[in-house]
Structure 1
Amino acid sequence: MKLSNIILLALSLALAISCKNGSNSSSGEPARTVFFDKTGMDTTVSPGENFFRYASGSWLKNTEIPASQSGWGSFYVLEEDNQKHLRKILDELSSAGQAAGSNEQKIGDLYTSGMDTAAIDKRNYDPVKPLLEKIDAIKSADELVDFAAASFKDGDGFLFDFYVGPDDRISTKNAINFTQGGLGLPNREYYFEQDSASKKVRAEYVNYIVKLFTLTGSNPTVAATQADAILKLETQIAGSHLTPVELRDPVKNYNKLSFAEFSRQVPGLNLVNVFKKLDVKTDTVLVSQPKYYIALDKLIRSQPLEVWKSKLRFEALNSAAPYLSQPFRDARFAFFGKVLNGQKQPQERWKQMVDKVDGSLGELLGQVFVEKYFPADAKARMLKLVDNLQEVYRQRIEGLDWMSAETKERALEKLNAFTKKIGYPDKWKKYDDVEISRDKYYENMQSVSRHNYAEMTGKLGKTVDKNEWGMTPPTVNAYYNPSFNEIVFPAGILQFPFFDFNADDAVNYGAIGAVIGHEMTHGFDDQGRQYDKDGNLRDWWTKEDATKFTQKAQVVTDQYNKYEVLKTLHVNGSLTLGENLADIGGLAIAYQAFKNTEQGKSSAKIDGFTPDQRFFLSFAQVWRIKNRDELMRMRISQDPHSPEMYRVNGPLSNMSEFYKAFGVKPGDKMYREEKDRVRVW
């Protein structure tokens, strides 16, 4: 499954069911009694001026981002807790002798091989030398293309970016989809922006390339010349790329071609040979961004072969660097960790390896994780809450004053057709062809890559398996997948600080309800609304209703465009539109569901706050995250999620119920005239 085709909640989320009984978690820890951080508030800030700082201002002032992190807050805390759980599992499995070829042996030995940095350092860059020798032996553009395609089966692969997944217009059929690629920096903007920060990133990128080359014995002067040439080549490639905003348009990015048509567009790539090397056969091809492949076809022939070979050497070293000796790991961190994300030092090795095992053999590790840390009744309880929110959503759609009866009927059909996945898959993936050794970390990761490639290409021509998950069970995240019309909540997120069985409804609904509503609303945001109940990209709206939706969505875009993040750096309202719509709609749905509870109907105070106030404060503290400036710059460039302050203040400024709860009045910074308050869903 292509992860970028699913819509993530991203940094923080919370999901479970309100329940007044039970232990704090399945880990057997004592029941928690404090669920809301009053000490983190800054009551010197008026709620109507900046509710994010009112709810978390003291925490923001007093919290230092750990040196190994690019940010810190609720999401990070939960992720670190999960990492500790996974470490315990992996330590146990790696220390005990496991049956050869068993699931336990594979995940235990993969962890062991990555933790043995002494053995990794001793090998220096020997593991990647055979690949570099193959690149050095390339003698023509045709050989370059052949090599780039053939390498995918070996766990590498260059030049081509593609995946096998549902055809957007035939969601039951798997198709091969080619997407733009070829860049080492996050996106095209990094190559063209002329501000000082962007120039610095490009300069450091060149330094990184030089460092990798010199670590393999290249002359520094020659390496610098090669690095400059790579940047120039990638800048030409970047000119063919769509922008992050353009990539959000599913219709614009759906281009179905016959194999013959695609071949005619890129005659120099010899697709007959390429597909043979890729080991795929198909009569039709999806090409999301044809401009990239048309440009690649020309550049392969017009640019010097040695420049292309230098680029492939760099890509090979860059991909392998995490699995090579310390100097390579340090070089990669210096650029991706420090320059792009603002980290001061790498994460502890055990954390890196926990994440690597989860990302490589996640459904093997996940089986042990859910057995130990996900209670048996959690799925049923979660499903009940999701059903409750779904019913509220149904009522809200029926009550919309701007949508026709015809479109409402189809919207309700889609809502009712949601697939709800909670905790972990009903059927686990198999990794029988993955071979893992305790002393060959690089080779282990290559084996995983070969497995992933064979699994992916094996789907081509087959019916889509909608039981498949796009995340592993320990993942701290959630998503909506338009092709499957599903909302998915992995077990890793279903715990405190985002949910607690013993918390009052205001706290749980402020956190959980808003998140569940958020994922549901993704099915009806500017992207999701273009898919029907079966997951097909199809226009099911009347023309008049589509126009009204677009007009309402534009108000949201305009609102968020005005939010300043750093000096002269604003939120991109077009890029973040889908997430902003989901935040606004999700909070409104959660609030209505909360008002159906006993606490929601009462006025009894807890910790000095009314039920409504507690609901909104809980929502705000869910998004309590502090980011480094470097990370924020990268997020503004490519992340479809608004910064956390505006994920709080933006939705709340559109809710009259919030105004009433905290006495927000004209003149307050968050006050919006009633006619300007957005209510889409």
Structure 2
Amino acid sequence: MSLTSELEPQLSLHFLSQSEPERGKAPPPLKQHPPPTTDPHQLQEQIQLQPVLQPEPLSRHEHQEKPAWMKHQRALLFMLGLTVWAAILGLIYYIHHNFHRQDAAAACRWAEARLSTSTDPFTQPCGYFMSPCGSSRLLQKNRGRQRGQGIRGHPQNQMEKSVLPERQNGETSYAKLREDKMLSRKNVLLQYVREILESNQNSRSSAVQKTKDFYRSCLDRRSIETAGAEPFLQLIQKLGGWAVSGRWNKTDFNSTLGVLMRDYSTFPFFNLYVGKDPNETASGTHQRYIQIDQPDLLIPIEWNRKTEKSQANAKTLRPFLASCQKFLNLLGSPPGEIMIHVGSFISLSSELAVAASPRHYRLSKGQLHQRMTIKELQRRAPAIDWLGCLQTAFHPLSLSEDDHVLLHNLPYIVQMSRTVNKWLNRHELSNSGPLHTFMIFNLLHTLMPAMDSRFSETAKNYTLALGHSVEEVPLWRHCVLETERGFDSVLTHLLGQKTALREAEEMIENVFDSLKSKLNELKWVDRNSSELVMQKVNSLIPRLRSSEEVSGGDDLDIFFSKVTIRTNSFFSNYLQLLSLWQNRRSKLLTAPIEAADVLSVTPFSLDAELLFPMGMFIPPFFHPTYPKAMNYGAVGFLIAKDIFHLLVPEIYYHSRSVHTVGKCVWSYYINATERASRDGVSALSTAQLQEVWVQHAALQVALQAYHLSLSQNSSDTSLAGMHHDHLLLRSFSQVNCDADPFSESMPLDPSFLIAVVCSTSDLCPTSPQCSIKSQQNSSHAC
């Protein structure tokens, strides 16, 4: 981390080796870069001093004998050109170095701001560790904030606060960082992507520019509100109108259905997606199939376990009816016609809902992943032109009736076909087009995110009427998520350009090696159990899912060449996004690799690989110019914790250590807090024991991995003169409140693990004030 004290005089930055004490000798002189080879001003003076000669009449002899400077004209011109070129290179070097110094200084300020968001756990009493996220609790005492505030989108957070720094007059403001202790990795990544989209940095890539323009059009609420319902009404006319408005040209049912699925990613009667057959995956086959599932019906239904049927609840139907009426009213439907069409829509929806069933029921009945050919499906559910609809939806792929598809609720598909056929043949309703209106209603809900606030407010009121809460999502977050739906490949490309690939790959390798070493130290049930787990771990190939796997700028420009983004028409942009989304779904049928999830923040296994998304290696948790101790204390710990979570089932059932260490740490906690209130203290559940062990082991792995990196390169930087391990543990204490699916199982503040580690090892430079007594019944460390 090449940071200079002259750039940041307020920071105390030290270069430490592994063996130096916490407050050792002064840092060595910082290396100064040489000045540019040639000063452009000097170059200009040299050019101006060149003699200016006036031509005079020359004799023939004089003409033949040229002056000395003319004899070496080419050499002089060459030297002059070389000097100019050196000056240009020097100027470029100076500018690049200046930017590098600015980036390093910004990272240094960022690191300082990260440290200032929490108190030093080494200076806190045991009360600091009494409840989860103790440092956040201390901040709440000082600021009167409730737990949960500071988390983006949290219901208690009435005023939107920024998690990451915002640019103000070219500088970075860190005040809001100090207010937001509890950083969710997903929220931080979304904010990081937001900054990329909102940056004014020019790009020669047209795909990048279109992505940013799409995002900005989503933020332009004024244009969206001004447009009102007119863009949607125009789209209805493009689809042949509808009977609700009195103008419908009676379009073909199957043709309209195919267009809705292909161009607008709308699936009224059944869902379509692409995936593998788990039965084949187990045998090593990874072919993808079209998957046909029951749809996400708009009508509220509930599952009756006694009759094993879905049914509508009268109490929920009333607000649903009111919302449907409101939608038609907003679309300018004649008041006298609204109830006729709403009644038909609810009746048709109710008939379809009867055959729908929850996933757990279908799993118990063996109704998931039922394979059949399109020809066989046509025979079982003839009302749908399956080959025609699927060919339209997955254009330009070529399909045949002998191709296989996977069904996830065949009884529903059969019943849906009968229902559609019955409504198609109800001649008394031929002029009202109930099936067409049903499809338009579904299209409306698909496009509602791109429409004015009257529609979203109607949907919100309906949700509240059902007794459900509604999370207020900030506009920027909504727009980032919508942008990712269609432009995920561009965002992956942009994120890859900002990721420090070499540093991330080095950390992954060191953590994985240290984790395997930790597993070898565990006490196993028997030798076979140990070999079984280690064989699985050793078979995994950990690597960063880098930008090398995604399309380059030129390829992206070609792919998005037919996309036209209008900065003041989010609705038309959104239509193109839906088309892109379905196009991506089509490509999955033939793509050789899985589509990367740009917003992923946890590793996952794919075949024999353990893949780490680039979203794990972003500020404020990780930066290549941070001290390595900070990176290992935060992201190194998270990597180890995530890997352990993937392996917990195998480790728990084959090793005694999980239960033993979990109880050991918990007993330390009870012993350290014996003078505090003992309310709620009891034996831990299996899930709690597992999580205590996971986080304790992950912290040990992060420390070991960091020392492994020091053995490869003994130099590291620090902040405020803190010792390496002190800085690592301080950084760890800042991410232990990270929101993940397992956080509810952690019965104690993870910061307490610092006290446990420090009491049983010599890794800590000092002992925390929360000193814990040795266990009477334990002669070894947890």
Q: 1:152 to 1:655 in 2, by over 3 A?
A: farther
AA partner of residue 407 (structure 1): L
- Measured against aligned partners, the alpha-carbon deviations of 1:243-296 in whole angstroms (never above 9, x if no partner) come to 5x998x9x9954444445545554554534433443444622233455654554
Number of the residue aligned with 1:513: 636
Q: Alignment partner of 1:74: what SS?
A: coil
Tell me the equivalent position of 1:161: 271
> 1:317 aligns to what?
444
Which amino acid is the alignment partner of residue 278 of structure 1? A
1: CA distance, partners of 2:719 / 2:249 = 74
What residue in structure 2 maps to residue 411 of structure 1?
Answer: 536
Which residue among 564, 576, 598 is the counterpart of 1:435? 564
In structure 1, give the amino acid aligned to 2:242. D
Cα pair distance change 1:580/1:516, threshold 3 Å:
farther
User: Hey, what's the Cα distance between the residues in 1 that align with 2:303 and 2:621?
Assistant: 35
Equivalent in the alignment of 1:390: 512
Is 1:356–2:482 an aligned residue pair?
Answer: yes
* 1:480 pairs with one of 604, 628, 634: 604
Summarize the alignment of residues 419-430 of structure 1 with structure 2, pairs less than 5 Å apart.
419-422=543-546, 425-428=549-552, 429=556, 430=559
Give the superposition deviation at 1:384. 0.7
Cα distance in 1 for residues equivalent to 2:741 and 2:362:
16
Q: Counterpart of 2:545 in 1: which secondary structure?
A: strand
Q: TM-score, length-normalised on structure 1?
A: 0.65
Which is bigger in relative contact order (C-alpha 8 A, separation at least 6)? 1
- Tell me what 1:536 maps to: none
Counterpart code for 1:327: R
Q: How far 1:322 sits from its partner (Å)?
A: 2.0
Distance 1:246 1:399 in 2: 43
Q: Map 1:588-627 to 2 at 5 A.
A: 588-595=697-704, 597-598=706-707, 618-619=731-732, 621-622=734-735, 624=737
The answer on whether the counterparts of 1:120 and 1:324 sit within 8 Å (CA) in structure 2 is yes
**1:242 Cα deviation after fit:** 0.9
Q: C-alpha separation between the residues in 1 aligned to 2:460 and 2:548?
A: 32
CA contact (8 A) 2:622 2:635 kept: yes
* Matches of 2:621 and 2:305, distance apart in 1: 38
Q: Return the offset for 1:523.
A: 4.9
8 Å contact kept, 2:299–2:346? no
TM-score when normalising by structure 2: 0.57
The Cα shift of 1:391 comes to 1.4
| Counterpart for residue 636 of structure 1 | none
Query: Contact 1:505 / 1:599 at 8 angstroms: preserved in 2?
Result: no
Q: Equivalents in 1 of 2:513, 2:415: separation in Å?
A: 49
Aligned residues: 570
1:287 equivalenced with 2:394 (yes/no): no
Q: Which residue of 2 aligns with 1:121?
A: 225
Looking at structure 1, the residues matched to 747 and 652 of structure 2 have their Cα atoms a distance apart, in angstroms, of 27
| Structure 1 stretch displaced more, 160-169 or 301-310 | 301-310
SS in 2 for 1:69: coil
Q: Tell me what 1:274 maps to.
A: 389
1:499 to 622, 637, 654: 622
Q: What residue identity is the alignment partner of 1:404?
A: S
- Rate the CA distance shift 1:412–1:441 in 2: closer, same or farther, 3 A: same
Contact 2:489–2:550 under 8 Å retained in 1: no
Q: Distance in 2 between matches of 1:140 and 1:510?
A: 65
CA deviations 1:178-215 (Å, max 9, x no partner) are 344324499978999xxxxx999987666544432321
Deviation at 1:393, TM superposition (A): 3.2
The answer (yes or no) to whether the contact 2:214–2:483 under 8 Å persists in 1 is yes
Q: Against the structure 1 CA distance between its residues 287 and 58, is the aligned structure 2 distance closer, same or farther, given a 3 Å change threshold?
A: farther
Q: Does 1:241 align with 2:341?
A: no
Q: CA deviation at 1:58?
A: 2.8
C-alpha separation in 1, matches of 2:103 and 2:368: 43
User: In 2, are the aligned partners of 1:510 and 1:591 still within 8 Å (CA)?
Assistant: no
Of the two, which has the highest radius of gyration? Answer: 2
Change (3 A) 1:656 1:118: closer
The question of whether the paired residues in 2 share the 8 Å contact of 1:230 and 1:310 is answered with no
Task: Give RMSD over aligned pairs.
Answer: 5.7
Q: How far apart are residue 609 of structure 1 and its match?
A: 11
Letter of the 2:231 counterpart: P
Unaligned runs of 5+ in 2: 1-15, 19-29, 31-99, 156-179, 307-312, 663-683, 711-717, 761-769
How far did 1:386 drift? 0.5
Q: Is the 8 A contact 2:510 2:705 kept in 1?
A: no
1:110 aligns with 2:110: no
Cα distance in 2 for partners of 1:19, 1:145 equals: 72
Tell me, yes or no, if the aligned pair for 2:640 and 2:702 is still in contact at 8 Å.
no
Equivalent in the alignment of 2:580: 451
**Is the 8 Å Cα contact of residues 190 and 202 (structure 1) preserved in structure 2?**
no
- Secondary structure (helix, strand or coil) at the match of 1:420 reads strand
Q: Retained in 2: the 8 A contact 1:163–1:456?
A: yes
CA distance in 2, matches of 1:517, 1:259: 46
**Conserved 8 A contact 1:389-1:590:** no
Contact 2:297 2:349 in 1 (8 A): no
In the alignment, structure 1 residue 211 sits paired with structure 2 residue 211: no
Measured after TM superposition, the shift of residue 660 of structure 1 is 5.8
Alpha-carbon distance, 1:625 to partner: 6.6
Which secondary structure does the structure 2 equivalent of 1:286 belong to? strand
Query: 378-387 vs 647-656, which deviates more?
Result: 647-656
Partner of 2:199: 88
Task: Measure the CA separation in 2 of the matches of 1:484 and 1:148.
Answer: 40
Find 2:242's aligned residue among 136, 142, 146.
Answer: 136
Letter in 2 for 1:181: P
Aligned mates of 1:384, 1:46 — CA distance in 2 = 37
- Letter aligned with residue 490 of structure 2: L
Q: Would the aligned equivalents of 2:214 and 2:570 in 1 still touch at CA under 8 Å?
A: yes
Aligned to 1:328: 455
Structure 2 residue aligned with 1:74: 183
1:360 and 1:583 map into 2 onto residues whose CA distance is 40
Q: Does residue 33 of the first structure (1) align with residue 158 of the second (2)?
A: no
How far, CA to CA, are the matches of 1:232 and 1:40 in structure 2?
59
